[in-house]
Structure 1
């Protein structure tokens, strides 16, 4: 098969890209609006991009109506976020928060997701999340610049909360205990429990 992306519409390009670049980690992002409404939304266009300073990146597309998603709006207003990683135990709750709720609705409240205070930022974090990064907004970059369809968000990690139950020892995570999920194509997901090791060449 050969795909010429110049001949594909955006929806078809999305379908092929997301079905092949897998598994993708999921950023479950909490933000707070200027009015104090807490938002919670998942994004699978997400990755680590830098370790000095420790920085995460997510890509936020537009709403179905073409408007900005609340996550992006809240980041412009307050510049803070918490990025949670999603465990198998929280998969259904994460999926519920992906619904297109109207602006001003808190997914924490509407979807019954328990919250707890953060230490360095205003947005709350998800109670029971295996990993949560409290972050400060570093930058928002529209892409493509001349006619953006997405906005790349760079977030500097200030503080991480890691569930002790996910540790193999004092310095290492046990992937099986962490039990995260990743996004595949369509409605399919994968877990991090199936693990093998390769030693890098010297």
Structure 2
């Protein structure tokens, strides 16, 4: 049984074929929320590091272990540093952003020239990669070292890069080495919202998926309750 929420009313339809790219963007980032943030570290062909945050990011598969990031290049399709570096080296590392890293992440979003070390400007510590040549960020609660799996060209200036996760680093005390269960509250990760908004994950609840038998039992109980109150 699905309940109608108080205040739930009619919906406004937006036909994306009639909207500008900017308006589509505003609707997408305002409705697909919260989005996890990939704080991506790469190196160029000369070994110089780069760091930049991306909120078009998610985990798409566990077998194989695949993550995806959406990278917007310049309008003339000249690659920004992250896209260029992944093309040159085939590698990148996704660092998860916790609440303590928010300001440093924001510093790395500043459009510095390509020869500027964003990690140094943000006061973050680069740790030599294990499976890849690019560094991970020591302050991050978790990092995923990836090899480029495939790149999809989307539209005039955007690419979707799929990465095969080769290894994962999780801060001690967050993941159980035996069960591999992660304490998500200790991760203290942040998510991206629309505009300049961000969210925290500290307000959580558990909701186990029901079996058919459990759902039927619940329906019978609710039917009996309705019969008693009628």
Matched, 1:190 2:199: yes
| Residues 117 and 53 of structure 1, relative CA distance in 2, 3 Å threshold | same
SS of the residue corresponding to residue 75 of structure 1 reads: helix
**In the alignment, is the contact (CA less than 8 A) between 1:80 and 1:137 conserved in 2?**
yes
Out of 76, 81, 96, the position equivalent to 2:92 is 81
Matched, 1:101 2:112: yes
**More deviation, 185-194/63-72:** 63-72
Matched, 1:125 2:136: yes
SS of the residue corresponding to residue 164 of structure 1 reads: coil
The structure in which a higher percent of residues are strand is 1
| Residues 34 and 128 of structure 1, relative CA distance in 2, 3 Å threshold | same
Query: Offset at 1:173?
Result: 1.4
Distance (Å, rounded) in 2 between the aligned partners of 1:7 and 1:83:
35
Matched, 1:110 2:155: no
TM-score, structure 1 normalization: 0.92
RMSD of the alignment, in Å?
1.6
Query: Offset at 1:64?
Result: 6.5
1:181 corresponds in structure 2 to 190
Distance (Å, rounded) in 2 between the aligned partners of 1:169 and 1:198:
25
Instruction: Extract unaligned runs of 5+ from structure 2.
Output: 1-11, 212-230
1:166 corresponds in structure 2 to 174
Distance (Å, rounded) in 2 between the aligned partners of 1:167 and 1:54:
18
Distance (Å, rounded) in 2 between the aligned partners of 1:92 and 1:65:
30
| Residues 101 and 135 of structure 1, relative CA distance in 2, 3 Å threshold | same
Distance (Å, rounded) in 2 between the aligned partners of 1:65 and 1:186:
25
Query: Offset at 1:160?
Result: 0.3
Structure showing greater relative contact order (alpha-carbon pairs closer than 8 Å, 6 or more residues apart): 1
Distance (Å, rounded) in 2 between the aligned partners of 1:7 and 1:32:
40
SS of the residue corresponding to residue 51 of structure 2 reads: strand
**In the alignment, is the contact (CA less than 8 A) between 2:145 and 2:168 conserved in 1?**
yes
Query: Offset at 1:127?
Result: 1.1
Larger radius of gyration: 2
SS of the residue corresponding to residue 23 of structure 2 reads: helix
Instruction: Extract unaligned runs of 5+ from structure 1.
Output: none
Q: Which runs of 4+ in 1 moved over 6 A?
A: none
Distance (Å, rounded) in 2 between the aligned partners of 1:4 and 1:80:
38
